[in-house]
A and B are shown apart, each in its own frame.
Chain A
Amino acid sequence: MRSFIMRWPELGLGVRCKGLDINQAAFDIFVENMPTKALQGHEMVGGWLLRDHSILFNRKPFDIPKVELSTENMDQAPVGRISFLRPQGRGAELLAKYDESVDTREYIPVAQVVPEDLEILKKAGREQWKATTRTREIIFVEFVKEDA
């Protein structure tokens, strides 16, 4: 099964993410670049989204033309959606929707957190919100292949 783990060592939390029927090549490139990690952030305008401002593709560059990628509006995306923003070459931004979003812009969906882990994702989101707005704790997120 096409899947990976998104985990936050500082929080002791992790969720399982599965590939979608769309943007499978984008998912595959992402997984080829695992393990990878990034500074975890939080969306500050569009709603309850974890936001990673710098996901690096250090092994395999992202070379899929923009026109070949499917998009969806974030406010319409299901909770648990993992999406890219501007994937290109060596990097992308990544968003993980853990609750309501008011962002009507288009993003590139690549994976979905499995239903049984959605509450864990929400917990991670709430913890990151607390860190971003109050405690200033530095939290990293790691992406690993599920069999790693």
Chain B
Amino acid sequence: MEAWRVLKEEIEAQIALTSNQPDQDILDVFKYSISKLGAGIPHDDQIFSTWFYGAPDVTYAADWIYFLIELARSGESYSMPALHKMAKYWFVHPSHFGEYCGLFQQYSFTKRIDRMLDTLDRDSFIELLTVFRSYIMNINAWIYQYWPWGVSYAVPRKDRAYYEKGLELLSQ
């Protein structure tokens, strides 16, 4: 079996798993606040900045893969070398940052896709990225589940009237 098809099957297995439960990376980073590569340690040993930067990169990866697939469809003028180059720019880099934050499985897949990009024709490029996007979307859904949205009550929106009231109080 071709290497990309082997990888596709492995991703499919992870899609099946993450359709029902989070994988261990998500639990470690977003539920248990464990980031194994050291992200956040220099910054007073907190996890919040790792969540803040790591979570959007997974969202970006899902978005950029969507656009890559759209651009790869027949009728578009992008060559395969151009698409490969965009893939490296658009999702390999954010995926690598996700690994640094503790999301190892997704970057493991990304590295393998990156290594085989030059071997993919248009159809296999679309097919492999389509499956990878589904996996990333599942991961993304679990990140949203464990993100501490309740923290948002500590930072309410403010407006002009709020600051005008503050100035009024200061002038008294």
Contacts and interface: CB of A to CB of B under 8 A. Distances in A.
**Do the two chains bind?**
yes
B141 A90 contact: no
A47 interface: no
B133 A38 contact: no
B150 A54 contact: no
B141 A52 contact: yes
Interface residues of A, number: 23
B40 to A, nearest CB: 22
Given A54-B138, A61-B130, A90-B133, 13 more contacts: A38-B141, A39-B145, A41-B145, A44-B152, A52-B141, A53-B137, A86-B63, A86-B66, A88-B133, A91-B133, A132-B149, A133-B149, A133-B150
A54 B137 contact: yes
A93 B134 CA distance: 11
23 contacts: A37-B19, A38-B19, A39-B142, A39-B145, A44-B152, A52-B141, A53-B141, A54-B134, A54-B137, A56-B137, A56-B138, A61-B130, A88-B133, A89-B69, A89-B126, A89-B130, A90-B133, A91-B137, A93-B137, A132-B149, A133-B150, A133-B152, A133-B153
B134 to A, nearest CB: 4
Looking at chain B's contact residues, is the secondary structure mostly helix, strand, loop, or mixed?
Answer: helix
A29 to B, nearest CB: 14
Interface of B: 15, 19, 63, 66, 69-70, 73, 126, 130-131, 133-134, 137-138, 140-142, 144-146, 149-150, 152-153
A136 B150 CA distance: 9
A22 interface: no
Contacts of B144: 41, 53
A90 B144 CA distance: 20
A2 interface: no
Contacts of B73: 65
Given A91-B133, A91-B134, A133-B150, A54 B145 contact: no
A56 B134 contact: yes
A39 B141 contact: yes
Contacts, number: 59
A123 interface: no
B127 to A, nearest CB: 9
A61 B133 CA distance: 13
A52 B134 CA distance: 13
A38 B18 CA distance: 10
A13 interface: no
Contacts of B133: 88-91
Nearest to A92: B137
A66 interface: yes
Nearest to B129: A89
Contacts of B149: 44, 132-133
A56 B137 CA distance: 9
A20 B69 CA distance: 28
